[in-house]
């Protein structure tokens, strides 16, 4: 099932809000969230950034960190953003894992 624009925007808003809430208790010197021009950026100490960027035309959410990039499609059955290459990568798992590995802090994004 293809997402219409309204549902796509609703999913983005919900996802970004859940990610933001997961970082509320994190020391901003370790990891900080910012939202600018529709993109959500998690900036870790040493200025490393994990960026989440909406891509309206294909109704995807793209993530980039260091020299890697992932494209995520919404999977209604699993109610999750999953990578479009079929590797089973869940966006929220990626955020949690990257934060743990880079920031040495545990965050749990509400599912």
* pLDDT for position 30: 93
Q: Give the C-alpha separation, 76 to 69, whole Å.
A: 22
- What is the pLDDT, as a whole number, of residue 22? 97
pLDDT band (50, 70, 90) for residue 31 = very high
Largest CA distance in the chain: 41
pTM, two decimal places = 0.93
* pLDDT of 44 above 70: yes
Residue 51: C-alpha distances to residues 1, 3, 32, 78, 106 (Å): 27, 22, 12, 23, 18
pLDDT tens-digit series, residues 46-98: 889 999 999 999 999 999 999 999 999 999 999 999 999 999 999 999 999 99
Between 3 and 6, where is the model more confident?
6
Q: Please report the domains of the chain, with CATH numbers, ordered by start residue.
A: 5-103 (3.30.920.10)
- Residue 92 token pair: 């929220």
């Amino acid at each position: 099932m293809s997402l219409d624009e309204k549902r796509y925007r609703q999913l983005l808003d919900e996802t970004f809000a859940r990610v933001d809430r997961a970082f509320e208790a994190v020391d901003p010197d370790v990891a900080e969230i910012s939202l600018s021009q529709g993109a959500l950026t998690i900036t870790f100490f040493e200025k490393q950034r994990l960026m989440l960027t909406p891509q309206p035309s294909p109704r995807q959410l793209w993530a980039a960190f260091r020299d890697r990039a992932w494209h995520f499609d919404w999977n209604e059955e699993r109610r999750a953003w999953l990578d479009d290459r079929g590797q089973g990568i869940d966006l929220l798992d990626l955020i949690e894992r990257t934060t743990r590995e880079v920031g040495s802090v545990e965050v749990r994004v509400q599912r």
